[in-house]
Every structure is written in C-alpha cells, then in structure tokens.
Amino acid sequence: MPTTVSFKEFVRDVREAGVDFYAPGIDNITYEVLSAEEIKAVELAIKMLANHARAIAPQIAVEIERQAPAVYKMAAVAKAKFPGMKNISFPATGTGSIGISPLFPQAIKYTGTPSPSLPAYTSYTSNTWDITFTANTAAYLFGDGTNWYKANPTDGQRALLVILQNGVLEIGSTPKITQMRIKTDKSQKYGMFGVSPLSTIPLESGKKIHIYPTPGVVPIFHDVGIMWSVLPARSGTSTMPLLGFVFAEGDFLADIKTI
C-alpha cells in the first residue's frame, strides 16, 4: 500500500548516514515498500555499475556503493509513482514492469525534438555524453534556460532519474565548469554555487576524470520540471557523463535505444 510522508522524513536515515538529497520544492513523497526480489534487482544494478567503475576508478566505485541506500529509497518512490504498482526488475522485463539501469545518454535525451509533451530539453548532443561549451555562457545538463526538463512522461515509458551526489563527471585534460545552479518548477529560491573538481583521476589514455561536487542526490521526475545549469570558463566539447540510475516503465527499456 502506498504511503505518503514528508520528503525530509523519508530520507532522514540516508542523510544521517552521510548522503544528502537535493530536491527543491519536493515537500512530500509517496513510496511503496520493496519486495525482497525488487531489493535484489536494485542491488544487482548497483553492483554492475560499481564493478565497472572499479576497473577504471576505484574512488568512483566507492562513491556508488556509499550511496546505495539512496537508490533503494528512489526505487520505492518509482514503484509508487508509476501507475499499476508494477514490480521492479533488472534488466527490465517489458510491459508491466519497472526496469532499473545505470544512466545512459538516451535516458536523459529521450527524443531528438524536445517539446512540451516530450520535455527532454538539454545541452547534451543526441546519443552521447558530449556537451559543446562556449566560455562564460550557460549550458544545461537539464533544461535549456527557458524550458524545464522532465523525465520521460509517456504512458508505458515513464521514467525517474537519480543523479548521485557528486555524480557530475567531466572527461578531458582541463576542467571547464566553475558554477552550477539547480532549480525546479516548484522552487527557485536556491541560487548558484561555485564548483571545482573534488578530485581528478588520471586515465591510461592520458585524459582525466574530473569529479564535481553537488549538494546531494538529485531525483528527476516525469511530472516536476528541473533546470540544471552550468557555467564553463573555457570553450570546447567535453564528455560529461552523469553517475546514477534510471527507473522506467518496461516499454522504455525493452530494447536498445537511439534517437
């Protein structure tokens, strides 16, 4: 049976364990208790992403595992939020299920022609983690400066994105981002914050992974608009993968995706 509580109370234990959430304007949340099978499905997805990260950057794997309790919390929200009380599986089992997957570009930019009915507004290039920056001009992980971003709202393909705390990465030689701001269509009271990489991890290719700080885990819903802007100090194209997960109705994750 779905239960509605204050968002602060819902995530209190996770925050006390050292993982914060950042969800401006989200006062209450509805969730459904996960079954043992659903907990196992979420655990498998977390382990897959952490094990992949461990082979490249053990520090990132540790961060993913540390934030696992936050992912379970959002799984419970997804189960209650999508109509029909579908079960969560990994991988997705098609119509009638909710799948979980590590984030991939098409989970964010799920259409090549964003519109009010498909509000996948973002600065990301289609089918990639690449963003082309102009120095001192805002770019957008989510939104476009005018239009709010929402996760896929299509019936049978609804999605909920979970961006982990400190989950904004940049792959390249020199980090570009110096400022961020996150606001929603429910609350714009919080302003910008300055950023510089928490750490930089060298890769065998000669490039580096720059890890940016964020105020907390950011949930992105299909019915709440978000605008996540970044300000680069330098021009150029950067690869900007986001650490996190997508929960989606089974039709969205039924097959490989491209736009």
Write the CA distances from 43 to 3, 71, 72, 75, integer angstroms.
Answer: 23, 9, 8, 11
Has residue 53 been placed in a domain? yes
**pLDDT average, residue stretch 103-114:** 98
Has residue 258 been placed in a domain? no
Comparing C-alpha atoms, which of 105, 126, 118 is closest to residue 150?
118
Has residue 259 been placed in a domain? no
- pLDDT at residue 84, rounded to an integer: 80
Query: How many domains is the chain partitioned into structurally?
Result: 1
**pLDDT average, residue stretch 202-230:** 91
Q: Per-residue pLDDT tens for 57-82? A: 889 999 999 999 999 999 999 999 99
Total-model pTM: 0.95
Q: Which residues pair with 241 in a beta bridge?
A: none
Has residue 36 been placed in a domain? yes
Range of the domain at 224: 3-253
Q: Per-residue pLDDT tens for 131-180? A: 999 999 999 999 999 999 999 999 999 999 999 999 999 998 789 999 99
